[in-house]
Amino acid sequence: MKALVLNCSPVRTGATAEITRIIAEELSSRYEVIQTCIDDYSVHFCLGCRRCHTSGQCVQEDDAARLMGVFAQADVIVLVSPSYWADVPGQFKTFIDRCTPWSNTHDPHASIGSGKMGYAVVLRTGGGMYECERLIATIEHFFGHLEILRAGSLALCNVEYLEDVAPRAGEIRKFCLSIGRDG
């Protein structure tokens, strides 16, 4: 079985990247782990042309389909996202917009396969949970339209810098124990 752990931040060395690394490490004893970063892919903005609504394919040629191929390979998908102004980073939102060809909102649509379990891990610099809940809702909405089972989430407040992650590592590892086991 395979697990995809996606750093939804373009920053490869910060807190989100470290949380992604911890999760990938924890899952590696149970899964073949694919760890990647949204910034490993070049994804263009959606054109809004809606041609995918009738063809199930996007007219653009970039890395959106390649990343969806990685989603298709995985049995478990863990999306790790920081808060950028109370929502997911723009690079990840652009990718979500480009996934309309795989969305169950129209037919025909492409598919990444069924039975996948999705998890959201979100972090923010402040202490209030509202922002984390918004990010989780965005990710879970995305999962729903791709027909990925929304299987769990972890919200981490007061995490801004890399050094803020170490004190939370136990909490992250404990969450990892539930991944793939509660669906």
Q: Is residue 23 in a domain? A: yes
d(CA 13, CA 29): 24
N-to-C CA span, the chain: 15
Contacts of 102 by beta carbon, 8 Å cutoff, 6+ apart: 68, 109, 110, 111, 112, 145, 146
168 has a pLDDT exceeding 80: yes
- The boundaries of the domain holding residue 70 are 2-178
Residue 183 confidence (pLDDT) above 80: no
* Residue 160 included in any domain: yes
Mean pLDDT of 119-143: 97
In a domain, 183, yes or no: no
Please tell me the total count of domains within the chain: 1
Give pLDDT tens digits for 48-90. 999 999 999 999 999 999 999 999 999 999 999 999 999 999 9
CA dihedral 23, 29, 32, 36 (to 10 degrees): 20
- The 10s digit of each residue's pLDDT in 85-126 is 999 999 999 999 999 999 999 999 999 999 999 999 999 999
Both tokens assigned to 82: 């920081």
Geometric angle at alpha carbon 111, from 88 and 87, rounded to 5°: 5
CATH code of the domain containing 93: 3.40.50.360
pLDDT attached to residue 181: 78
CA–CA distance, 20 with 54 (Å, rounded to integer): 36
What pLDDT is stored for residue 182 in this prediction?
Answer: 55
